[in-house]
Structure 1
Amino acid sequence: MATTVDIGLFSAWDYVVFAAVLFISAAIGVYYAFEGRGKTTSQEFLTGGKSMTAVPVAMSLTASFMSAVTILGTPADVYRYGAMYSIFAISYGLVVLICAELFLPVFYRLNLTSTYEYLELRFSKVVRILGTVIFIIEMVLYTGIVIYAPALALNQVSGFNLWGAMISTGLVCTFYCAMGGLKAVIWTDAFQIIIMVAGFIAVIIRGVVVQGGIQTILNDSYYGERLNFWDFDPDPLRRHTFWTIVIGGTFLWTGIYGVNQSQVQRYIACKTRFQAKLSLYLNLLGLWAILACAVISGLILYSVYKDCDPWMSKRVSAPDQLMPYLVLDILRNYPGVPGLFVACAYSGTLSTASSSINALATVTVEDLIKPYTNLSEKKLAWLSKGMSAFYGLLCIAMSVVASFMGSVIQAALSIFAMIGGPLLGLFSLGMFFPFANPLGAVVGLISGFSVTLWIGIGSHIYPPLPERSRPLPLSTEGCDFILEDANWTSTTNWTSTITSPVTILPTVLQPDGSGRPGLADYWYSLSYLYLTVLGTIVTVLIGIIVSLFSGGLKQNINRDCLFGRQDCGLLDFICCLKSDKQDNIEILEWKSHNGQGHDNPAYTADNLNLSQMK
């Protein structure tokens, strides 16, 4: 297979399979739009009426995490750098444990719709608005690139229409988000995770058959140095080591699962705290399964192309195109199956984009509109649908802008890490440090964001030294076709020279030594995974120092905003069940006492008056 030049394009059946996935996703949105006709409240639309159970929410959490950038990028990363990426399995376990036991109890007890409502309850309106605006900017940029990046990779390899893919994906997401709300998003995510796994399994089964068994793949990977799991080098400048992945990866994904609206909104939509915790732990199984599929696919990539690298032989123009190239190579005689993998990649795009659109609509309505208007629930529901449509179209527009921005994928992921760290630090400051005050929160957030932004921009102007992120050896010695140019220089971020069949080692294209500041070799070369760690630590430390020097917390706060009040212990599901029962009793008592329909247990009689908290 390594010598194939003409791998063909999509067949009619491939387009049929892809169209079917989009149609079913849209149909789910239509179903929940009609199913919820009599429930015209914004809470029903944005949170599913807090009636969801663990299994679909767990599938949605996994699907939301798995963007097409991950589906295409992870196997390519394993192909180029080895199976070290599988150590993220440890990070995922720690992330789920931290989120389920530390962050979930606080958010669920407060019964929030928007995560950033917490920032006003704990600090002030200024902190809430600041956090909301940063989140909106982050997610619009990221979602636009999530829509554009896989469309570009698949277009250049398979001939799949670029603009048709981008616009159809964006419109379908916008349609079912605006029609069906959170319930539609969760159930389409559940359907899409099945498609993702099916696409991976099709590639793995065919790859194993083509290579003559899994033992061949493992042997090739071993002798090609791809089974490099245990690298305990503590150097923080190395791109991936055991420590950067376990420590940095844990902080990075805690910033997403712990405080990011698109993820938190799902598990707090569960009808009980037990179901919410269970959804996170079940989601962990899904994360491990997807990670295993992606790593195995990367090893298959190396086994198939170990002697004739498609990138070095100019069969593809970017590493993200390796996976679709493999699919069209080994599955071209199976009509519809390449389309299944494209559906797999676009299911990742649909799930990520729909999660972002729904979260953006939620924070806009709950944080920027509802507190400052007296609109009825029916009008808020229609406004929520309108905001979903608006953000869907905005993200499509952003994907079009991204097509003119050149290399934006790595920049977007870096921005995601840069913003996630300071926001994680801000929420941690509020939950775990009772004396932290609004001034400390604002100064800490700005300080953390400034440091990560400084390093992030510097690392793109002055890329890390070659030895910090050098890929493993690649070869073209097995290619039986004549390269069009025996000596060539890549126009991408890599350069290579191919003379005759020989094993080559790509190096990172660097500026000449002149004008490169001393910080570039150390400060700007910090592993991208440590950006979130640094942002979190700086935000918390500066927030603590400023809070202490400004006299600490001077006003009363709702004690439910702090971690520790009746919070369940590790995996203590019995405690969760008891807490759920108690919360329900408190809700009924509050309604009875006040004669109102507010169902937030944080506002019971034993707490401070609502006007004191806001």
Structure 2
Amino acid sequence: MTSFGILNWLIVAVYIIGTLFLGVVLSQRVKSDQDYYVGDKSTPWWAIGMSVAATYIGALSLLGAPAWSYETGMSVLLIHVNYPIAVVIVVTLFLPFFYNLGVASIFDYLEKRFGLTTRTLISSIFLFGNIAYSGIMLYTTALVISFVTGLDVTLAILLVAVIATAYTWMGGMSAVIWTDVAQSVILLLGLCIIFFALINVLPGGLIGALSELKASGMTYAFNTSTDPSVVSTIWTGIVAMSIYHVVVYGVNQMMVQRTLAAKTMADAKKSYIFMGYAAFVIFFFLFLLGVLLHNYYQGKVFEDSNKIILEFAIVAQIPGLMGLITAAVIAAAMSSLDSSLNSMATVTTIDFYKKFFKKNETGTHYLKASRIFTLIWAVLIIIPAILFVGSAGSVLEILSKIGSFFVGAKLSAFFLGFYSKHTNEKGLLIGIAMGFLSLFVADQYYDIAWPWYCLIGGAVSIVVAWIASVSIEGFKAHNHQYTVKGQAEFFRKMDYPEMQDGWYLIPGRIDRASYYLLAYFVVCLIFLFLFDWLI
């Protein structure tokens, strides 16, 4: 532990103290449960956008992405090239429904569209899926802290959990967003230092390294294999993972909740579009680090590939670098953990406690309840973190595979809610059950890559739900108010404006900025082709 050095410990200590201080300051703004859930609606869109990006591109990506490309090459970037497509779908369909409802839980929509049972089921899926997500993230962070400082992994898990819980408990969503902004800066600073340090020690320099990597096929991204067992192909990236990321960003309470803190619908959309531009750049940078490290280590096999960046940071021997990397990883982890804790507390309070136990209490009462649930969830997510200790493989890939089992159910519920005139709650529940059954069969009896699980589960759920609904109640004559067409009819009937400040308020209309983002997606594909071709 002493080898970590005083300077490194000082850097980590300053970061932790600063984070807790920010939580104390922002706690002064929290007067009611709504302040805890979505703040005071004064947060700028760029801060929300940075927070959204930091939440998904956290410690798991910082360690897992380079570990993944170290073994596979740049083809894994196809899994993450689809963000512009996903974001356009989310800002066009999902955000208008959720923002217009004016509630903190996105699952309120499901009750209005289908019924309380659907809301409760999908809320439960979110909560239990988030336990696994947060547990793996906690483990990843503890792995870093243990590796670089000598602390016991379990002790490191407890340390990170306590710190993140403390400032989230105090400051609510405002603390989540603004600490995420600070944590993003620290994370990017650490990555840049590692990148330039790596370039300086590559045996043949950057150009020589890329030439060698091209010769071995590591820089070519466009794997066109039609083998369904292959994870990273152009088909999984553009088709399967686009759907996956629509669910991750469109019906994930942890992501959407912070956009509900925006001043206007326009700000909510701009925050997501910001992330749509930033995600490709950040993931390209992370995966490029992985293939360059592959060249530096000449393909050496590591017992735990998630430690590759840490191994190199030790070799670099830059004063204070290990402290900065440790702070960066803690920051990345907390940017995900704080969001997870706040959203889980929000859903537990609104979708369960308020709905079934205490229906007519004051905002102060629900604020206290939310803070208690924050503490309870903090304790519960420590369990899977400890169970995960000792596992190997890319944690980013493991997390993605776990998440793929749940996204089909969420996809079908919201897709049918938006577009199906005839789907009812009984039919939807039957469809979701059959979707889970289809994934169990696919996982047990067929060799299919996990990116396709979302499409398989979602497609089965949608088809079965529609058939079951029509069989039970027949065809309906009118659109439900909370379908896309129903919203258009409602806006016309109430004479509401469809646009404000140049952005659509109504779901189903594509904003001009979204077309620019789709053009950016094409530019990204061209860039990936040229990157390999011009080496």
* Match of residue 351 from structure 2: 367
Residues 135/555 of structure 1: CA separation in 2 closer, same or farther (3 Å cut): farther
Q: How does 1:222-233 map to 2 (within 5 A)?
A: 222-233=214-225
Identity of aligned residues (%): 25
Residues 526/32 of structure 1: CA separation in 2 closer, same or farther (3 Å cut): same
Give 2:242's match in structure 1, choosing from 220, 235, 250.
Answer: 250
CA–CA separation in structure 2 for the residues paired with 1:283 and 1:200: 18
Q: Which is bigger in relative contact order (C-alpha 8 A, separation at least 6)?
A: 2
CA–CA separation in structure 1 for the residues paired with 2:474 and 2:279: 41
Give 1:350's match in structure 2, choosing from 334, 340, 344.
Answer: 334
* Match of residue 379 from structure 1: 365
* Match of residue 143 from structure 2: 152
Give 1:545's match in structure 2, choosing from 467, 472, 478.
Answer: 467
CA–CA separation in structure 1 for the residues paired with 2:132 and 2:148: 25
Give 1:189's match in structure 2, choosing from 180, 202, 213.
Answer: 180
Give 2:23's match in structure 1, choosing from 5, 23, 29.
Answer: 29
SS at match of 1:350: helix
SS at match of 1:230: coil
TM-score by structure 2 length?
0.86
Tell me how far 1:560 sits from its aligned partner. 3.7
1:257/1:263 contact within 8 Å kept: yes
CA–CA separation in structure 2 for the residues paired with 1:340 and 1:241: 35
- Structure (1 or 2) with the greater helix fraction: 2
2:52/2:255 contact within 8 Å kept: yes
Deviation readout 1:173-229 (Å, 9 max, x if unpaired): 111111000010011111111111111101111111112642123123212321121
Matching of residue 240 in structure 1 with residue 232 in structure 2: yes
1:440/1:547 contact within 8 Å kept: yes
* Match of residue 317 from structure 1: 303
Matching of residue 50 in structure 1 with residue 41 in structure 2: yes
1:153/1:320 contact within 8 Å kept: no
1:177/1:358 contact within 8 Å kept: yes
* Match of residue 532 from structure 1: 454
CA–CA separation in structure 2 for the residues paired with 1:170 and 1:111: 31
CA–CA separation in structure 2 for the residues paired with 1:350 and 1:153: 14
* Match of residue 340 from structure 1: 324
Deviates more, 1:274-283 or 1:44-53: 44-53
Q: How does 1:365-444 map to 2 (within 5 A)?
A: 365-372=349-356, 373=358, 374-403=360-389, 409=395, 412-444=399-431
Residues 247/154 of structure 1: CA separation in 2 closer, same or farther (3 Å cut): farther
Query: How many aligned positions are there?
Result: 496
SS at match of 1:559: coil
Residues 231/404 of structure 1: CA separation in 2 closer, same or farther (3 Å cut): closer
1:145/1:408 contact within 8 Å kept: no
Residues 154/378 of structure 1: CA separation in 2 closer, same or farther (3 Å cut): closer
Give 2:92's match in structure 1, choosing from 75, 88, 101.
Answer: 101
Tell me how far 1:539 sits from its aligned partner. 1.3
TM-score by structure 1 length?
0.76
Residues 158/451 of structure 1: CA separation in 2 closer, same or farther (3 Å cut): farther
Deviation readout 1:401-439 (Å, 9 max, x if unpaired): 433788895655422110112211211111111211011
Opposite residue 15 of structure 1, the aligned amino acid is W
CA–CA separation in structure 1 for the residues paired with 2:230 and 2:391: 28
The list of structure 1 runs, each at least 4 consecutive aligned residues, that deviate by more than 6 angstroms after superposition, is 404-408, 553-557, 578-583
2:80/2:241 contact within 8 Å kept: no
Tell me how far 1:16 sits from its aligned partner. 2.0
CA–CA separation in structure 1 for the residues paired with 2:505 and 2:125: 36
SS at match of 1:231: coil
CA–CA separation in structure 2 for the residues paired with 1:391 and 1:401: 16
Tell me how far 1:274 sits from its aligned partner. 0.4
* Match of residue 286 from structure 1: 278
CA–CA separation in structure 2 for the residues paired with 1:44 and 1:358: 12
2:38/2:261 contact within 8 Å kept: yes
* Match of residue 13 from structure 1: 7
CA–CA separation in structure 2 for the residues paired with 1:271 and 1:63: 20
2:7/2:320 contact within 8 Å kept: yes
2:418/2:483 contact within 8 Å kept: yes
1:158/1:328 contact within 8 Å kept: no
* Match of residue 213 from structure 2: 221
Give 1:577's match in structure 2, choosing from 475, 483, 501.
Answer: 501
CA–CA separation in structure 2 for the residues paired with 1:286 and 1:80: 24
* Match of residue 518 from structure 2: none
Matching of residue 110 in structure 1 with residue 94 in structure 2: no
- Higher gyration radius (CA): 1
Opposite residue 182 of structure 2, the aligned amino acid is F
Tell me how far 1:146 sits from its aligned partner. 1.1
SS at match of 1:234: coil
Tell me, which stretches of 5 or more residues in structure 1 are unaligned? 1-7, 459-518, 584-614
Tell me how far 1:399 sits from its aligned partner. 2.0
* Match of residue 449 from structure 1: 436
Residues 135/159 of structure 1: CA separation in 2 closer, same or farther (3 Å cut): same
CA–CA separation in structure 2 for the residues paired with 1:132 and 1:158: 38
Residues 582/351 of structure 1: CA separation in 2 closer, same or farther (3 Å cut): closer
Residues 579/558 of structure 1: CA separation in 2 closer, same or farther (3 Å cut): farther
Matching of residue 301 in structure 1 with residue 293 in structure 2: yes
Residues 82/581 of structure 1: CA separation in 2 closer, same or farther (3 Å cut): closer
Residues 557/402 of structure 1: CA separation in 2 closer, same or farther (3 Å cut): farther
CA–CA separation in structure 1 for the residues paired with 2:137 and 2:382: 10
Opposite residue 110 of structure 1, the aligned amino acid is L
CA–CA separation in structure 2 for the residues paired with 1:399 and 1:217: 37
Deviates more, 1:379-388 or 1:402-411: 402-411
* Match of residue 112 from structure 2: 121
1:147/1:399 contact within 8 Å kept: yes
Opposite residue 4 of structure 2, the aligned amino acid is F
CA–CA separation in structure 1 for the residues paired with 2:145 and 2:379: 22
CA–CA separation in structure 2 for the residues paired with 1:230 and 1:353: 34
CA–CA separation in structure 2 for the residues paired with 1:118 and 1:582: 15
* Match of residue 533 from structure 2: none
1:53/1:275 contact within 8 Å kept: yes
CA–CA separation in structure 1 for the residues paired with 2:485 and 2:379: 38
CA–CA separation in structure 2 for the residues paired with 1:75 and 1:412: 15
CA–CA separation in structure 1 for the residues paired with 2:125 and 2:475: 25
CA–CA separation in structure 1 for the residues paired with 2:475 and 2:372: 39
Residues 194/566 of structure 1: CA separation in 2 closer, same or farther (3 Å cut): farther
Deviation readout 1:299-327 (Å, 9 max, x if unpaired): 22012111x61x2xxxx421111121112
Opposite residue 341 of structure 1, the aligned amino acid is I
Opposite residue 368 of structure 2, the aligned amino acid is W
Give 2:162's match in structure 1, choosing from 155, 158, 171.
Answer: 171
CA–CA separation in structure 1 for the residues paired with 2:479 and 2:370: 30
SS at match of 1:550: helix
Deviation readout 1:254-282 (Å, 9 max, x if unpaired): 11101010011111221100001110111
Deviation readout 1:514-555 (Å, 9 max, x if unpaired): xxxxx3xxx2x1111111111111111111111111124769
Tell me how far 1:291 sits from its aligned partner. 0.8
